[in-house]
Amino acid sequence: MVFEGLADKLQGALQKLKSKGKLSEKDVKEAMREVKLALLEADVNFKVVKDFIDKVKDRAVGNEVLESLTPGQQVIKIVNEELTALMGTTQSKITFSSKPPTVIMLVGLQGAGKTTTGGKLGGYLKKSGKRPLLVAGDIYRPAAIKQLQVVGGQLDLPVFTLGDKVSPVHIAKAGVEHAVKHGNDLVIIDTAGRLHIDDHLMEELQNIKQEVKPHEILLVLDAMTGQDAVNVAEIFNEKLGIDGVILTKLDGDTRGGAALSVRAVTNKPIKFIGMGEKLNELEPFFPDRMASRILGM
Amino acid sequence: KTYKKVDDELFEEIEEILITSDVGVNTTMKIIEKLRTEAKERKVTEASDLKGLLKEILVEILDYGDAHQLGIHPAPAILLIVGVNGVGKTTSIGKIAHRIKSQGKKVLLAAGDTFRAAAIDQLEIWGNRVGVDVIKHQEGADPAAVLFDAIQSAKARKIDVLICDTAGRLHNKKNLMNELGKVSKVLEREYGNATKDVLLVLDATTGQNAIQQAKTFKEVVDINGIILTKLDGTAKGGVVLAISSELNVPVKLIGVGEGVNDLQVFEPKSFVNALFGDDI
Ligand SMILES: Nc1nc2c(ncn2[C@@H]2O[C@H](COP(=O)(O)OP(=O)(O)OP(=O)(O)O)[C@@H](O)[C@H]2O)c(=O)[nH]1
Ligand SMILES: Nc1nc2c(ncn2[C@@H]2O[C@H](COP(=O)(O)OP(=O)(O)OP(=O)(O)O)[C@@H](O)[C@H]2O)c(=O)[nH]1
Ligand SMILES: [K+]
Ligand SMILES: [Mg+2]
Ligand SMILES: [Mg+2]
């Protein structure tokens, strides 16, 4: 069934192993096929799944497992360990500059959740004593600036804008200068959604980077993204050098395989997760929790 | 291109293309099985013939004949646009309005997203851009009340097509889906005689979750068409194959950019060709 959870599937496949005393190479292979299908159904990228399965298979058919008294549990442990390793092992935080303001730039595809997340992040960090300034760097999307202003208003955060007739590079630079002058120790730059293959707009981001040298460039990614997540993450990382990922819309019922894909291709940490439309629904990302959520363990 | 014979490796290659296009494991397996059977029956041995056969099978899944047409005849008609957050509902409305207005129709928009920050302003900018009026209330107002007003206005102004925007909502949020159900009831009650099309907007970058989206929205508001957006990226939107074969909902329009003209009628053949590019 399509909608059966990944965790159930893994449990199902591995339960068969658990009940057996000894594992043959064929047993492992069969179970790994089910793990593979389950991961694919969870939207983990095809190539990432392949590599993952090869790794687990290698370890699982090793002597250590076949001769262990509880080979099934051993395999479950290996799957769990490798998955957690793939998700990253520790929780990542924002690195603040010793010379404020710290500049954070949010980038990503259209509709991923950048503007909302920018507000959320500002609100989140304000609670820990920061004085954030939101910078309206999207001059393209209809009412993008207004959207950020409304969000800023709801959180009681200042929003810097120069309207939509000035280049985003200039806006970003002026925004940081404004922050310096007004004692904001944190600048969060909202940018327009763009396709990773849009050279012109990707160059715009490179120019912003060059101009304001952000301490953190965070890729905002929709948790429902399918196989394409690797292309998006890889190219944004290649062109900009991202420092981390924020995964949005995890309040849905998606399996969230994109989390695995993105980690695997960029090796950059997922720092926060979006858990709703409301502006307080941002949570730190815990790799072990995500792996456990996926595995149901 | 190298000259190739049909073998297991080729089937595996096809499987990989389908899965990396987000077609999903189940639907991919079904397609491969059918392809194997028919290839045997028709004694296909050349790779190029197999490719043709595969395309036939895929087009058959996607092709709904006349049901791909936007349901706007006879006037008056109403389009209700629904979907999860950020998929492209409001933008698609702007594009559709432009398209049918240039066909000589009188169009009116309803700002039914009263929740998201500046959603009303966004729709108004689109309205101005394409020269179409927008009926709106304040942010936070009841969307059913907005639709009610918009319908009265459409009747008074003898509007051909009323297009109603709705707030993005995840299908697993019961209260938000109920709210949508309420909007749909107002539509039935107040505009029962109008031609009705309920369109689900899907983002082509979405993976298997799109199936659940389509399933749940269909239960609540009986969607009868899909708008597949963001096909100008590198995602293929293959999940509509699963939706087409499992849920019986045709794709009607595709979005291929952020501009007012970046909307196209869905063509099963071109879609299938784009799925494969020059890969096989
Ligand atoms: N359910 C849910 N919705 C979210 C979350 N984050 C953002 N959204 C919604 O997703 C939609 C798009 O969010 P935006 O912040 O406008 O996305 P964006 O990336 O700025 O979009 P563009 O500027 O058009 O590229 C809005 O409806 C948001 O309310 C989340 O974590 N959960
Ligand atoms: N590249 C591309 N971008 C698109 C397409 N359609 C919409 N977008 C962009 O996607 C983003 C979200 O579009 P919206 O129309 O605001 O989406 P929505 O579904 O109304 O979002 P919510 O109301 O927040 O749920 C915007 O930046 C649009 O410009 C498309 O076909 N291609
Ligand atoms: K999206
Ligand atoms: Mg935005
Ligand atoms: Mg909208």
B222 has a chain A CB within 8 A of its CB: no
A1's tokens = 């069934």
**What HEC string does A8-66 produce?**
HHHHHHHHHHHHCCCCCHHHHHHHHHHHHHHHHHCCCCHHHHHHHHHHHHHHHCCHHHH
Residue A109 clears pLDDT 50, i.e. is over it? yes
Q: Taking all residues of chain B, what is their mean pLDDT, rounded to a whole number?
A: 96
| d(CA B88, ligand 3 centre) in Å | 8
A285 close to A272: Cβ distance less than 8 angstroms: yes
Residue B20 near chain A (CB below 8 Å): yes
Quick one: pLDDT band at residue A68, thresholds 50, 70, 90? low
A16 pLDDT exceeds 90?
Answer: no
Q: Are residues B24 and A111, on separate chains, in Cβ contact within 8 Å? A: no
CA B175 to ligand 5 center in whole angstroms: 18
The confidence score (pLDDT) of residue A2 equals 32
Interface of B with A in 30-69 (CB under 8 A): none
Q: Give the rounded distance of the alpha carbon of A120 from its chain centre.
A: 15
Interatomic CA distance for residues A156 and A285, integer angstroms = 25
* Paired residues of B108 in beta bridges: B133, B162
**Interface touch B126/A231, C-beta < 8 Å:** no
How many residues are there in chain A?
Answer: 297
CB-closest option in B115, B121, B203 to A146: B121
How many angstroms separate the Cα of B242 from the Cα of each of A290, B27, B272?
Answer: 27, 6, 13
Reported as a pLDDT band with limits 50, 70 and 90, residue A3 is very low
Closest CA to B173 of A246, A39, A253, A216: A253
Interface membership of B216 toward A (CB under 8 Å): no
Token digits of residue B107: 């169009």
Asked which of A55-64, B51-60, B70-79 is least confident by mean pLDDT, the reply is A55-64
Between chains, do A111 and B87 touch, taking CB under 8 Å as contact? yes
**Pocket around ligand 2: residues whose beta carbon is below 6 Å from it?**
A 110-111, 141, 193, 195; B 83, 85-91, 113, 116, 119, 168, 201, 229-230, 232, 255-258, 262
Q: What sign for the dihedral angle of Cα B38, B44, B47, B53?
A: negative
The two tokens of residue A258 are 């994109």
Q: Residue A63 has what pLDDT?
A: 61
Ligand nearest to the CA of A119: 1
List the beta bridge partners of residue B80. B164, B198
- Assess contact for A40 and A46: CB atoms under 8 A: yes
B65, B157, B165 from B270: Cα distances, Å: 15, 39, 29
Q: What is the pLDDT of residues B127-183, one digit of tens each?
A: 999 999 999 999 999 999 999 999 999 999 999 999 999 999 999 999 999 999 999
Task: Give the environment of ion ligand 5: residues with CB less than 5 A.
Answer: B 89-90
- Asked if pLDDT for residue B4 goes beyond 90, the answer is no
Poorest-pLDDT segment among A22-31, B23-32, B92-101, B232-241: A22-31
Q: Does residue A7 surpass a pLDDT of 60?
A: no
B176 touches chain A (CB under 8 A): no
For residue A91, the Cα-to-chain-centroid distance in whole angstroms is 12
Is residue A248 a contact partner of residue B206, using CB atoms and an 8 Å limit? no
Whether chain A has a CB inside 8 Å of the CB on B271: the answer is no
Give this prediction's pTM.
0.96
Interface predicted TM-score (ipTM) over 0.95: yes
- Asked if B206's CB is within 8 angstroms of A226's CB, the reply is yes
Q: Which of B117, B129, B172 sits opposite A253 (nearest CB)?
A: B172
- Mutate one of A196, A197, A227 to test the B interface: name it (highest B CB count within 10 A): A227
pLDDT at A27 (0 to 100): 76
At A69 the pLDDT is 62
* Average pLDDT rounded to a whole number, residues A41-61: 90
Least confident range of A178-187, A253-262, B208-217: A253-262
Task: Give the C-alpha distances (Å, rounded to integers) separating B212 from B206, B209, B219, B229.
Answer: 11, 5, 11, 17
For residues A231 and B234, is the Cβ–Cβ distance under 8 A? yes
Please tell me if residue B203 touches chain A, with a CB cutoff of 8 Å: yes
Which residues, numbered 112 to 171 in chain B, qualify as contacts with chain A under a Cβ-Cβ cut-off of 8 Å?
Answer: 115-119, 121-122, 124-126, 129, 139, 168, 170-171
Query: Which of A150, A197, A253 has its CB closest to that of B118?
Result: A150
Whether residues B125 and A37 touch (CB distance < 8 A) is answered with no
Q: What pLDDT, on the 0 to 100 scale, is given for residue B104?
A: 97
Using CA atoms, how far apart are residues A108 and A246, in angstroms rounded to an integer?
10
**Who lines ligand 1 at CB under 6 A?**
A 108, 110-116, 138, 141, 144, 192-193, 220, 248-249, 251, 274-277; B 85-86, 116, 168, 170
pLDDT tens digits along B252-270: 999 999 999 999 999 999 9
Query: A254 near A43, Cβ under 8 Å?
Result: yes
Q: Write the pLDDT tens digit of every residue in A205-218.
A: 999 999 999 999 99
The order of strands in the sheet holding A132-137 is: A159-160, A132-137, A186-191, A102-107, A216-222, A244-248, A270-274, A282-284
Query: Is residue A6 predicted with pLDDT exceeding 60?
Result: no
Contact between chains at A41 and B25 (C-beta distance less than 8 A): yes
Q: Do B85 and A231 touch (CB under 8 A)?
A: no
Question: What is the nearest CA distance from B43 to chain A, expressed in angstroms?
Answer: 30
Provide the pLDDT confidence category of residue A255 given band limits of 50, 70 and 90: confident
- Which residue from B55, B30, B50 is spatially nearest to B39, judged by alpha carbons? B50
